[in-house]
């Protein structure tokens, strides 16, 4: 086989000029799979250049001009940037491949702009593709392994890519690792609810942790497992076998139900410093926090649990989803404000209810009810647009509640109370920077602008109400400004997508098995 010049691009962000928090943290949010793709391509004998885009680089300078194949890993918020880059590199002769959350959620749309769109990706999908990587235009080919890969290259194998990415993190450096894929639970709003749980091998994990200690003095590991700690004892044994006490710190996403006091004691002993449980809502999705309580009872229970966690783990981010169907009236917002008072040490992260294409079975219900709005992908990051019309709120009521709870959470009073409620310096500093940067103050400003436009700009209101699909100037200008020179490379029509494409495929193909498949045209 010919030796190919392969580019791999990890789009951590969607535009240049990241916030203060972004400058410090973006390189720490890099994905594992682009590094994995880099290893697999090299194993096939090709030359690989991997670039992690954190918003500071000049993309066109960092990527070689002459490439045979360009792999791009993108979240949906980076889709328009990815489409523009694909267009540009195709015009220079490269074959382009998209993978990652956007490819899994919107394959029909992505096939319009890429030669290949990958769902589940294992080594054989990549080697087959490289063996015969012909362009596919105008419509790309959608390929997927039958299941998630049963093994991934170890950290040791992908180290040169990991290390190069971490060089971009100026202070805190978080090493991305994964020990399992899928989840045994079946929360219908989650992308992993239909993916079998599968650990990736605890021997490799042990070896990787030991390897990491030879590379970084006191490393911080960021676990990308969808639900860390399902096989809790196996994980802890792997850590305990490989890492002497006090030599490594860890960050993980885990559900509250896994964070019992005995588990917390062991996590503390093993250096777990930050944990990100999902609370989601006081009325909906109780299955995730494993409590049957609702309303104020749930607030008290969860606040007690969070305060208990803070006795063992110095940093906790509590994740909420706003606008769920179980929420109604001002009470859910008021309850969250009470939670902020009762658990002042938690950093609240708010997500606007979002239906990411095929991500979750519950998205079909929103599409059937015609509640999904066609906001350009660029805005779909849980914050810059809510693409599901709320069931029990008008838009103005919803935005009033959203601004109220965000302002309360990032008021100087709440910021000041958060500082003493955490025990150590880095959590105090992180909480402060996040609050005064794009996540706190930045969101208050952004949501306030949207709320104003709902009153003053008829095109915005009509778009939110689903009366028109013509994109309001406000959003068009923003995407143009944020993409900068890349906006000119955006193919015609690429700001628009069929928001009900998933429903269309289910009606036509009742059995949606994740088998190798050829994509059909997106609407
Ligand atoms: C860990 C995680 C994070 C971590 C790490 C992110 C990262 N860079 O990977 C952190 C906390 C930083 C994070 C942040 C965010 N996240 Co997140 N995150 C996850 C989570 C829980 C696991 C993803 C994971 O790594 N799985 C392990 C990998 C190996 O498996 P996989 O993702 O299934 O990937 C397979 C294929 O997609 C493919 N593949 C993946 N990447 C690539 C790349 C290439 C080039 C190729 C060819 C193939 C390929 O191969 C894999 C094996 O089959 C998922 C939910 C979930 N359960 O999947 C959400 C999820 C991916 N996150 C989501 C979102 C929205 C975000 C944020 C925008 C939230 C926010 N507002 O801040 C940010 C965006 C960060 C960014 N980099 O842009 C959404 C994405 C939806 C979408 N379509 O965009 C998800 C699906 C959760 C959800 N809401 O449903 N996240
Ligand atoms: S929300 Fe969490 S517990 Fe539920 S299926 Fe997804 S990863 Fe598993």
Give the tens place of pLDDT for each residue, 192-214.
888 999 999 999 999 999 999 99
pLDDT band at 285 (very low <50, low <70, confident <90, very high): low
Lowest mean pLDDT among 63-72, 360-369, 408-417, 418-427: 418-427
pLDDT of residue 518: 32
- Give the mean model confidence (pLDDT) for residues 97-126: 98
Q: Is the CB of 226 under 6 A from ligand 2?
A: yes
Q: In the chain, what percentage of residues exceed pLDDT 70?
A: 95
Length of the chain: 523
Contacts of 412 (CB under 8 A, 6+ apart): none
Q: In the chain, what percentage of residues exceed pLDDT 90?
A: 82
pLDDT of residue 32: 98
Q: Is the CB of 360 under 6 A from ligand 2?
A: no
- Give the mean model confidence (pLDDT) for residues 104-108: 97
User: Residue 425 C-alpha to ligand 1 middle, in angstroms?
Assistant: 29
CA nearest ligand 2 atom 6, residue: 190
Ligand closest in space to the Cα of 279 = 2
Question: Which tens digits make up the pLDDT trace of 51-64?
Answer: 999 999 999 899 99
d(CA 404, CA 330): 10
User: Residue 181 C-alpha to ligand 2 middle, in angstroms?
Assistant: 11
DSSP bridge partners of 349:
319
More confident residue, 332 or 519: 332
- Give the mean model confidence (pLDDT) for residues 238-262: 94
Number of C-beta neighbours around residue 112 at 10 A: 19
pLDDT of residue 292: 67
User: Residue 506 C-alpha to ligand 2 middle, in angstroms?
Assistant: 23
More confident residue, 411 or 520: 411
Judged against a pLDDT cut of 50, whether residue 522 lies above it is answered with no
**Under 8 Å between Cβ of 99 and 82:** no
Global pTM reads 0.95
Q: Is the CB of 222 under 6 A from ligand 1?
A: no
More confident residue, 203 or 518: 203
pLDDT band at 509 (very low <50, low <70, confident <90, very high): low
Q: Is the CB of 378 under 6 A from ligand 1?
A: no
Lowest mean pLDDT among 184-198, 286-300, 488-502: 286-300
What angle, 0 to 180 degrees and rounded to 10, lies between the N-to-C axes of helices 261-269 and 295-312? 30
More confident residue, 475 or 21: 475
pLDDT of residue 36: 98
CA nearest ligand 1 atom 73, residue: 381
User: Residue 411 C-alpha to ligand 1 middle, in angstroms?
Assistant: 30
Mean of the per-residue pLDDT values for the chain?
Answer: 92
Judged against a pLDDT cut of 60, whether residue 85 lies above it is answered with yes
User: Residue 125 C-alpha to ligand 2 middle, in angstroms?
Assistant: 26
Ligand closest in space to the Cα of 194 = 2
CA 190 to ligand 2: nearest atom? 6
CA 74 to ligand 1: nearest atom? 43
pLDDT band at 16 (very low <50, low <70, confident <90, very high): confident
CA 14 to ligand 1: nearest atom? 78
pLDDT of residue 517: 31
d(CA 66, CA 52): 18
pLDDT of residue 513: 42
Q: Buried (b) or exposed (e) across 39-50, using 16+ Cβ within 10 A?
A: bbbbebebebeb
State how beta strands 174-177 and 220-223 pair: parallel
Judged against a pLDDT cut of 60, whether residue 172 lies above it is answered with yes
For residue 138, say if its preceding peptide bond is cis, omega within 30 degrees of 0. Answer: yes
Q: Is the CB of 102 under 6 A from ligand 1?
A: yes
Question: Which tens digits make up the pLDDT trace of 116-160?
Answer: 999 999 999 999 999 999 999 999 999 999 999 999 999 999 999
Q: Is the CB of 358 under 6 A from ligand 1?
A: no
pLDDT of residue 121: 98
pLDDT of residue 98: 98
pLDDT of residue 523: 25
């Amino acid at each position: 086989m010919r030796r190919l010049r392969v580019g791999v691009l990890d789009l951590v962000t969607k535009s240049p000029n990241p916030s203060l928090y972004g400058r410090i943290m973006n390189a720490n949010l890099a994905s594992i799979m682009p590094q994995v793709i880099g290893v697999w391509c090299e194993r096939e004998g090709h030359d690989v250049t991997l670039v992690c885009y954190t918003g500071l680089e000049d993309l066109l300078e960092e990527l070689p001009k002459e490439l045979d194949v360009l792999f791009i890993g993108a979240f949906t918020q980076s889709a328009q940037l990815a489409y523009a880059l694909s267009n540009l590199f195709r015009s220079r002769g490269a074959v382009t491949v998209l993978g990652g959350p956007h490819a899994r959620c919107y394959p029909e749309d992505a096939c319009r702009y890429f030669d290949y769109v990958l769902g589940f990706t294992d080594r054989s999908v990549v080697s087959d593709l490289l063996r015969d990587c012909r362009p596919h235009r105008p419509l790309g080919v959608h390929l997927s392994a039958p299941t998630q890969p049963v093994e991934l290259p170890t950290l040791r194998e992908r180290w040169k890519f990991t290390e190069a990415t971490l060089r971009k993190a100026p202070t805190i450096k978080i090493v991305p690792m994964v020990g399992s894929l899928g989840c045994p639970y079946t929360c219908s709003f989650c992308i992993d609810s239909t993916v079998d749980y599968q650990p990736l091998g605890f021997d490799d994990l042990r070896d990787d942790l030991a390897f990491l200690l030879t590379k970084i003095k006191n490393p911080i590991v960021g676990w990308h497992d969808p639900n860390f700690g399902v096989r809790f004892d196996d994980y802890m044994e792997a850590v305990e076998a490989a890492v002497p006490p006090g030599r490594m710190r860890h960050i993980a996403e885990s559900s509250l139900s896994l964070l019992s006091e005995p588990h917390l004691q062991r996590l503390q002993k093993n250096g777990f410093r930050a944990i990100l449980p999902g609370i989601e809502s006081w009325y909906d999705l109780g299955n995730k926090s494993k409590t049957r309580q609702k309303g104020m009872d749930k607030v008290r229970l969860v606040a007690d649990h969070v305060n208990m966690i803070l006795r063992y783990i110095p940093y906790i981010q509590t994740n909420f989803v706003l606008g769920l169907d179980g929420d109604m009236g001002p009470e859910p917002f008021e309850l969250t404000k009470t939670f902020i008072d009762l658990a002042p040490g938690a950093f609240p992260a708010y997500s606007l209810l979002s239906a990411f294409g095929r991500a979750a079975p519950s998205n079909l219900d929103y599409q059937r009810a015609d509640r999904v709005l066609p906001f350009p992908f660029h805005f779909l990051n849980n914050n810059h647009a809510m693409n599901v019309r709320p069931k029990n709120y008008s838009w103005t009521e919803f935005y009033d509640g959203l601004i109220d709870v965000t302002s309360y959470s990032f008021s100087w009073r709440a910021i000041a109370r958060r500082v003493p409620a955490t025990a150590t310096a880095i959590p105090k500093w992180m909480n402060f920077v996040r609050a005064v940067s794009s996540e706190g103050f930045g969101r208050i400003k952004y949501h306030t602008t949207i709320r104003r436009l709902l009153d003053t700009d008829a095109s915005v209101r009509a778009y939110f109400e689903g009366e028109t699909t013509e994109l309001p100037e406000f959003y068009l200008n923003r995407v143009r400004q944020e993409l900068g020179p890349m906006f000119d490379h955006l193919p015609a029509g690429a700001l628009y997508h069929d928001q009900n494409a998933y429903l269309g495929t289910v009606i036509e193909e009742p059995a949606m098995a994740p088998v190798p498949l050829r994509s059909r045209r997106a609407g």
